[in-house]
Amino acid sequence: MQTQNVVTDKEREIRKRDLEDKDRKNASERRQEQKNQNFTQVYPLGWKRLRELFRKNPGAAELYSMLAENIDGSCGAVVADQTHLASLLGVGRQTISRYVKWLEEQGVLVKIPVAGKVC
């Protein structure tokens, strides 16, 4: 016994829209890739500054580099809980607090209040 598929005009239209949506999504993804979305540029003076931070306070510099790696390029900020940062770096929350204070004193980090907390 042979089966035959019967496709209605409505099903064709639905399939056509699905394919168009998929094409738009693929085109959007290609545009994002072309923008180097996951690219971070460091200028020569920035590398020099990073070396200074690592030489003076390696733990704080590690925190700084982790924050820089995860920065939101659209706004230039990272929202992160200090307890979470501490667990990622394998240190205590007070250590993160000291690192943040030191980075602020060095002029490389600015804390901003977010939802009643300071991040």
Residue ranges per structural domain of the chain: 7-39, 44-118
Residue 114 contacts by C-beta under 8 Å, 6 or more apart in sequence?
79
Question: Crossing angle, helix 82-89 and helix 93-105, to 10 degrees?
Answer: 100
Looking at residue 28, its pLDDT comes to 85
Range 44-118 has CATH code 2.170.120 = no
How do residues 75-93 score in pLDDT, each as one tens digit? 788 888 899 999 999 999 9
**How far is it, in rounded angstroms, from Cα 97 to Cα 16?**
55
How do residues 49-78 score in pLDDT, each as one tens digit? 999 999 999 999 999 999 988 887 777 888
Query: And the tokens for 80?
Result: 């992160």
